[in-house]
Amino acid sequence: MPNMQTIPGKEHMPEWLTNIPMDFWKVLGEMAPYLLFGFFIAGLLSVLISPQFIERHLGGRGIWPVIKASAFGVPLPLCSCGVIPVATSIRRHGASKGATTAFLISTPQTGADSILATFSLLGPVFAIYRPIAALISGVLGGAIVSAVEKGTPPDQFAKCNDVCCSTDIKRNATVRALGYGFITLPRDIARTLLLGLVVAALISAIVPEGYFSTVVSPGPLQILVLMLVGIPIYICATASIPIAAGLILA
């Protein structure tokens, strides 16, 4: 494979274009440990929690499955990458779209580890506010999805041909968990995950670090702009705490 230094015409290419491959691998390297952890958790849940349990508590319409899913996600130590396979798993096992959305929103915002870290760096007010904000935003997002999907037929998922069905019951639980977490789920989300990695690499290569903090003056507009810019940037719930503390001190 040719090195970037030996690519003909590289000196005439824009710098951001040559940075895309490196940014792609950088984002992939940052995501990989958390994504693998998420696959592992999803595999465990596929064995430990039955589809009937998920259907009973997170399935169906209404606000209660949404609230339960949002509350269930708040203490889990999963980042925005690791939550993807877990959310895919609970969706495949009977959770409604609204409940899955609530879980996707609330889970990566905080976790038991980040709550304790927040208390240590930012104090009790922020430590209490973060899980409450995660819970409320998850419920709101899930409720919107539940309202929009009213009247639409429910998705049909295979009940007897999946990795966790009758042909696998006799197999060792560890083998079933690993097979579901590291074969079935990665195969299902590989295409969209790759697209997300490419988009993240493009953003990292095109937008200079600290760009918006220098071109937008402090105030409500800066808060709004930085909030919108921060959405696609990958920083896990715990790693964002020292950054927030530094911004407060600044």
- Cα–Cα distance for residue pair 73/69, rounded to 1 Å: 6
CB atoms within 10 A of CB 49: 14
In order, the DSSP letters of 70-95 are HHHHTTS---TTTHHHHHHHHHHTT-
Arithmetic mean of pLDDT over the chain: 75
3 state DSSP class of 50: coil
Task: Say which residue, 182 or 6, is predicted with more confidence.
Answer: 182
The residue type found at 14 is P
Residue-wise pLDDT tens digits, 36-45:
877 788 788 7
- Above 50 in pLDDT, residue 163? no
Choice among 139-143, 185-189, 219-223, 246-250 with the minimum mean pLDDT: 246-250
CB atoms within 10 A of CB 50: 13
Cβ contact 13:4 at 8 Å? no
The pLDDT confidence band at residue 240, using thresholds 50, 70 and 90, is: low
pLDDT of 7:
47
- Measured at the CA of 230, the angle between CA 227 and CA 231, to 5 degrees, comes to 95
The whole-model pTM stands at: 0.64
Residue-wise pLDDT tens digits, 135-149:
999 999 999 999 987
The residue type found at 84 is I
3 state DSSP class of 15: helix
